[in-house]
Amino acid sequence: MKTLKVFPLVIIGTVVGAIISVLLIVLRTLPVQASAEASDIDNLYIFFLAFSGVIFGIVVLFLLVAVYRFRARPNDEREGANIHGITWLEVVWTVIPFIIVVLCGAAGWWVLDRNDVEAQARSKGQVVQVVGYQFGWKYDYVTKGIELKEQQELVLPVNEPVIFEINSKDVIHSFWVPAWRLQMNATPGQINEVSTIPTLIGEYDIICAYLCGVGHTAMNSAMPDSIISKVRVVSRADFDAWITQQKTAAAEAAATASADTAVSSS
């Protein structure tokens, strides 16, 4: 039974593949985990890398060994073995991938479900309306007691749920915060809701991920000369301070505005 000789190869392939996976995993290719979902999603990614590396390792090892072991010598007139298939083997390589993809689906579904459930729980959280336009973002804090409109920067308290109601003035944009592993299109004519919990104080990039015209490149806070501001995750105290500050600023602006109108009307 020639095919029995392949089992050692499967083992070696698995090992080689596992090494590849481990390498890719320890390379730490992902940005910081700054949200509640991040770790789940990263674990998904690591799980993918694990089996992908193994599958890749096995396939490539067999490829190379086959090419080496069964290579044709110069002016080689031999023909290959007249084997048209081995049913049990075909069953094996149909069933194992099936199991793997089912695992993938299950894992993905589980993470998705967890996030959705948490999202439900957050319904009482801070609501921020995000409006994309060419080329920038506008944030309206509309939760009772805050009522801040037309903010150019996004500031959030750490460890508190936040719900984004994302919408667009003109064309499709996409609200992407890699550190949160969160992306949602801003589609004109509809409100797309996503929610998260920032878990790490700091400043993170907000990137418009969907092509929205000539300014698409610049609509990215990571760009050196960007007009887009990063999202600032701060402590509760700092957040309240910021709110009051914004409110007073708004009030003053309103006051001056009415003063102007008074002057002009007299």
Partner 1 sequence: MTAVLKPTLARCLWVAPAFAAIAILITIAARALVGMDPVLQESTLLTVAYIAGGIGFIVGIGGFDYWWTWMTGGELDPNDHSTHGAKSWRDYFKFNTDHKVIGLQYIVFTFIMFLVGGMFAMVFRAELARPAAQSLSPEQYNGLMSQHGVIMIFVFLVPIFAGIGNYVIPLMIGAADMAFPRLNALSFWLLPVSAFTLLTSFMFGSFDAGWTGYPTLSQQSGYGMTLYQLGVQLAGASSIATAVNFLVTIITMRAPGMTLFRMPLLVWANLATSALVVAATPFIAGAMFMAMFDREMGTHFFTVAGGGDTLVYQHIFWFYSHPAVYIMILPGFGIISEVIATHSRKPIFGYRAVAFSSAGIAILGFAVWAHHMFASGMQPWLRVPIMLSTLLIAIPTGIKIFSWLGTLWGGVVRLTTANLFALGFIFTFVIGGLSGVMIAVVPFDVSTTNSYFIVAHFHYVLFGGSIMTVYAGLYHWFPKVTGRMYNELLGRWHFWITFVALNVTFFPMHYLGLVGMTRRVMDYDPQYAWMNTMISIAAFVLGASTLIFVYNMIHSARHGKPAGANPWGGLSLEWMLSSPPPTFNFPVTPRVIGGPYRYGEEGARHAIIPDAEPATVEKVGI
Residue 52 vs 187, nearer CB to ligand CUA: 187
Q: Cis omega before residue 135 (within 30°)?
A: yes
**Is there binding between residue 211 and partner 1 (CB under 8 A)?**
yes
What residue type is 46 in one-letter code? I
Q: Which residues bind ligand CUA (CB under 6 A)?
A: 132, 135, 173, 208, 210-212, 216, 219
Q: Taking a C-beta distance cutoff of 8 angstroms, is the pair 126, 161 a contact?
A: yes
Structure tokens at 78: 């031999």
What order of strands is seen across the sheet that includes strand 231-234? 155-157, 231-234, 202-204
Residue 115 vs 174, nearer CB to ligand CUA: 174
Residue 134 vs 199, nearer CB to ligand CUA: 134
Q: Taking a C-beta distance cutoff of 8 angstroms, is the pair 210, 173 a contact?
A: yes
Residue 74 vs 85, nearer CB to ligand HEA: 85
| DSSP three-state, residue 263 | helix
Of 108-127, binders to partner 1 (CB under 8 A) are: 108-109, 111-112, 115-116
- The residue within the footprint of partner 1, chosen from 26, 83, 237, 262 (CB under 8 A), is 83
**Is there binding between residue 233 and partner 1 (CB under 8 A)?**
no
DSSP for 119-153?
Answer: HHHGGGSEEEEEEEETTEEEEEE-STTT-EEEESS
Structure tokens at 250: 């708004």
Partner whose footprint covers residue 135, from partner 1, ligand HEA, ligand CUA, none (CB < 5 to 8 Å by kind):
ligand CUA
Q: Which residues bind ligand HEA (CB under 6 A)?
A: 55, 59, 97, 100-101
Q: Taking a C-beta distance cutoff of 8 angstroms, is the pair 9, 62 a contact?
A: yes
Q: Tell me the residue number closest to ligand HEA, measured at CB.
A: 97
**Is there binding between residue 145 and partner 1 (CB under 8 A)?**
no
Of 189-208, binders to partner 1 (CB under 8 A) are: 189-190, 192, 205, 207-208
| DSSP three-state, residue 190 | coil
Partner whose footprint covers residue 264, from ligand HEA, ligand CUA, partner 1, none (CB < 5 to 8 Å by kind):
none
Residue 63 vs 223, nearer CB to ligand CUA: 223
Q: Which stretch binds partner 1 (CB under 8 A): 83-91, 234-242, 243-251, 253-261?
A: 83-91
Phi-psi region of 196 (alpha: psi -120 to 50; beta: other; left: phi over 0): beta
